[in-house]
Amino acid sequence: MPAYHSIFLQDQDVRVIGNFALLPLRTRTRGPAYTLPALPSSTSDLDIDPDSESYDPLDEVLSLFRANTFFRNFEIKGPADRLLIYGILFVSECLGKIKPSMGKKAAEKALLNTALDQFAIPGDASFPLNQAFEAPSDRQDAETMRQYLSQVRQELAMRLLARVYADGSTPSKWWLSFTKRKFMGKSL
């Protein structure tokens, strides 16, 4: 059975830096991403329909995370798949920071610190998937990519927190069961 790929592969007119797509996001975090419309008040972040105009790549990362973590290999079919891979690796890193005894406030602090920490981008020596990602062509593109990934990390951390603590003040054992899994044998 093959891994699940991004539904955003068909999107045209998407800005690409290196070979990484800068797709629109539904976010309140400042950054270079085009902002999608907010969810209707009747829709929850936890059950957004992929056909909704507000569905974004971060919703996709969270919905495909569990299925794709079981695959050791992932055939990249386009720039949107690279964002999916990066998001899955970041979610894995975040889940490793949440301990079973952590309250929601402590987990929020840990995840936001993780999102805001210094991180490598494609082309940096410490970036784990340089063989699959092209480096930005110049300094301006590198800075734009860093800002976009920072925006992705912050928004993804907050959405993950909402899912892990959906039932209250203790983390979901189901989500924490994925803390030891490594997607493609890698971590950020």
Q: Which pLDDT belongs to residue 73?
A: 82
Q: Which residues pair with 35 in a beta bridge?
A: 25
For 29-54, write each residue's pLDDT tens digit: 999 999 988 888 888 878 788 888 88
Q: 22: which DSSP letter?
A: E
For 94-139, write each residue's pLDDT tens digit: 999 999 999 999 999 999 999 999 999 999 999 988 999 999 999 9
| CB distance 107 to 101 below 8 Å | no
Which of these, 161, 139, 16, 159, lies nearest to 82 by C-alpha position?
A: 16
d(C-alpha 161, C-alpha 41), whole Å = 20
| CB distance 48 to 58 below 8 Å | no
Provide the whole-model pTM.
Answer: 0.91
Q: Which pLDDT belongs to residue 187?
A: 60
d(C-alpha 67, C-alpha 74), whole Å = 12
Alpha-carbon distances of 171 from 21, 37, 44, 137, rounded to whole Å: 32, 29, 19, 41
107-125 burial code (b ≥16 CB/10 A, e <16): bbebbeebbeeebebbbee
